[in-house]
Amino acid sequence: MMQKESELMELMKNPEPRKRVGIIKTQVIKEGSIFYGKRRFNNPKEAAGLVRALFEFADKEMMVVVSLDAKNTPLAVEIVSIGTVNSCLVQIREIFKHAILDNAVHIICYHNHPSGIPEPSQEDIAVTKRLDEAGKLIGIWLLDHIIIGENDSYVSLQERGIIKNGYTDLFTM
């Protein structure tokens, strides 16, 4: 008993260092805006048109996410990652962090192929499937993943049947 009291006294004299926990405030800050023609997207071609200008002169792969409300009206556009000439690191949490902060119901992911050929790679397909699964878990549906090429070319992974979102065509909701 005496030893425990002395240990307690020692702890009181020399307490263990404590860690600080930050108190944070998260904000979404609008950095600019872009114009688009339609109030909402009705098909992947219209969706591809919204971000095409972001990729026009890109010599590296980039991943862009557009957050959408329940009627597929764009809420925000964010460049999530910039990679190299033939790859781009995509963190699922970064994609959905953006969507959660925007109160999105759906998202559309885009990336470019600087080669100009929008054919999806195996990595593109694997990332798309992971995004689709993650979105279902948190309640923010992946509407499409569109790969942008040159001369208005694109590939919609929803049209290719890679995204199994449970809807025949989310664009017409």
Tokens representing residue 4 in the block? 């425990």
DSSP state string for 23-60: --------------SSSS-SSHHHHHHHHHHHHTT-SS
pTM: 0.78
The architecture of the domain spanning 26-172 is: 3-Layer(aba) Sandwich (3.40)
**Geometric angle at alpha carbon 68, from 112 and 114, rounded to 5°:** 5
Q: How far apart are CA 78 and CA 94, in angstroms?
A: 10
Q: What is the pLDDT along the chain (173 residues), one digit of tens a residue?
A: 567 777 777 777 777 677 777 766 677 777 766 666 666 777 888 888 888 888 888 899 999 999 999 988 899 999 999 988 888 888 899 999 989 999 999 999 999 999 999 999 999 999 999 999 999 999 999 999 999 999 999 999 999 999 976 444 555 54
**For residue 152, how far is the Cα from the chain centroid?**
23
Residue whose token pair is 């800050």:
29
- Provide the 10 A C-beta neighbour count for residue 30: 6
